Amino acid sequence: MSDVSLPDWAECLLTQGPRYTIFHGGRGSGKSMACATALVIRAASEPLRILCFREIQESIDESVKAIIEQRIKDCGLSSFFNITKRDITGANGSKFIFRGLSDQTADSIKSLNDIDIAWGEEAQALSKESLQLFLPTIRKITSEIWFSMNPELDTDYVYTAFIQKRPADARIVEVNWDRNPFWNAAMEAERLRSKADDPEDYDHIWEGIPKSALSGAIYRREMHMLTTENRIRPLVADPTLGLHAIFDLGINDMMAVTVAQADISGARLVGYHEDKNYGIDHYCEWLKDTGRKDATIWLPHDGNARSVQTGLTTKRIVENLGWQVEIVPQIGVEPGIKRTRDMLKNAFISDAPDCAVMLEHMRRYTRAKSGHPKHDEHSNCADSVRYTAVAMDQFKNVSERKRHQKQMAAQVRVIPTQNHWGSVNR
């Protein structure tokens, strides 16, 4: 074996460690190279089954296999390891396996139960669902699970479950460019160029600080401003303002409801709810159960479409349940996105758990390659917020009309009538 060196912070990988090891930080720290080097050295020293995994791996080219191969060459171990198109095996029985977790099922993942070390690269992209299925499968008493990541958002699952909560069986190491012993002049020039030309993203790219929203998120700048200007805070409905529940309709798809108000300073988003496989009466009951029975319900334009089964529109169904219903003006998606950006510049949003779900969707709402907004698990919420922005200009008029109708109803007097004998009918 040729002499190879590791950064001092990675030398801990050469011996048996705790259940979890997490390396997190910005670009240029050498996290991936260090993990690959340590795995090659250990696989050459003892027979190990090593899994290199990520969330999505549509082909072997998307794996870390190329990095492992390079480190095998750098260590002078090309004759020790047999490299095939899919796997790498050692003369001592060691084996490297490469998988994408999103492709695994409860049955297929069972084949991984004899893994000694599992390394998850780009761990910021690993989903909660995938890891909850995968982690219990790695069950050897001496097994280790390594994560290397450049944090994306502070709500990414690995970030919240390990870096924020810091479980007792986890070793957590923050490493950035300034801890890379192999740092060179070209890398330093690139870092300084980034700092000068892209200061908004510098801390995330090079210092490993999570962003307020995904790169490419439609409302990335607005989410950043909400956070830095402290406009996500404890917030409850103001009883002096009208209350509005704005729906994005869906049954098999997710249905989303944003609860909002507006005052002279702008929008106040005070509640959010999402679910699927329920009729609209379920969401009306949710409004009642959460003390919002006086809300005005807003539906998108398809709320006026008649159901083939009942012949009724969704608007009529909700009105029959006793609600005042309005239809959001139809202005198109892109003009609606512009309205939403304008609304979010001055909006205040509740820091309650339901609104945290809404904010998470907004941070991850992006465009497809075609340029159109993606229709995915984040789009229903984003549509509900967009409808809120479009309808908001009418909130005051609708609330005043509703208040006037209540006042008129309270003033109506029932006048008894008399029959021709002079007696009163009551």
pLDDT digit string, tens, across residues 396-426: 887 666 665 666 666 655 555 555 544 545 4
Angle at which helices 333-346 and 220-228 cross, to 10°: 10
pLDDT at 308: 72
Block mean pLDDT (10 aa), the chain, length 426: 84 95 96 96 96 89 92 95 94 95 77 91 93 92 96 91 94 96 95 92 92 87 92 95 94 90 94 93 96 96 84 93 95 95 96 96 92 93 97 82 62 55 48
Q: What is the DSSP string of 50-115?
A: EEEEES--SSGGGSSHHHHHHHHHHTT-TTTEEE-SS-EEETTS-EEEEEEGGG--TTGGGGGTT-
Tell me, yes or no, whether 384 lies in a domain: yes
The pTM (predicted TM-score) of the whole model is 0.71
Sheet strands (E) in 288-373: 296-299, 325-327, 348-350
Tell me, yes or no, whether 404 lies in a domain: yes
Considering the domain architecture, whether residues 181 and 269 belong to the same structural domain is answered as: no
> How crowded is residue 71: how many other Cβ atoms within 10 Å of its Cβ?
21
Tell me, yes or no, whether 416 lies in a domain: no
Residues in contact with 335: Cβ distance below 8 Å, sequence separation at least 6, in sequence order: none
Tell me, yes or no, whether 135 lies in a domain: yes
Considering the domain architecture, whether residues 395 and 260 belong to the same structural domain is answered as: yes
Q: Is 261 helix (H, G, I), strand (E, B) or coil?
A: strand
Considering the domain architecture, whether residues 161 and 282 belong to the same structural domain is answered as: no
Tell me, yes or no, whether 273 lies in a domain: yes
Residue 340's domain is classified under what CATH number? 3.30.420.280
Residues in contact with 271: Cβ distance below 8 Å, sequence separation at least 6, in sequence order: 237, 257, 258, 259, 290, 292, 350, 352, 354, 355
Considering the domain architecture, whether residues 185 and 237 belong to the same structural domain is answered as: no
Considering the domain architecture, whether residues 150 and 248 belong to the same structural domain is answered as: no
Tell me, yes or no, whether 419 lies in a domain: no
Considering the domain architecture, whether residues 329 and 242 belong to the same structural domain is answered as: yes
pLDDT at 250: 81
> How crowded is residue 214: how many other Cβ atoms within 10 Å of its Cβ?
17
**Cβ 378 vs Cβ 365: under 8 Å:** yes
pLDDT at 112: 83
Considering the domain architecture, whether residues 36 and 141 belong to the same structural domain is answered as: yes
Considering the domain architecture, whether residues 259 and 384 belong to the same structural domain is answered as: yes
Residue 71's domain is classified under what CATH number? 3.40.50.300
C-alpha dihedral, 20 to 21 to 27 to 30, nearest 10°: -140
Considering the domain architecture, whether residues 113 and 38 belong to the same structural domain is answered as: yes
Domains: count for the chain: 2
Tell me, yes or no, whether 238 lies in a domain: yes
pLDDT at 426: 47
Domain of residue 12: give its range: 8-189
**Cβ 138 vs Cβ 145: under 8 Å:** yes
Q: Comparing C-alpha atoms, which of 344, 414, 424, 327 is closest to residue 382? A: 344
Tell me, yes or no, whether 339 lies in a domain: yes
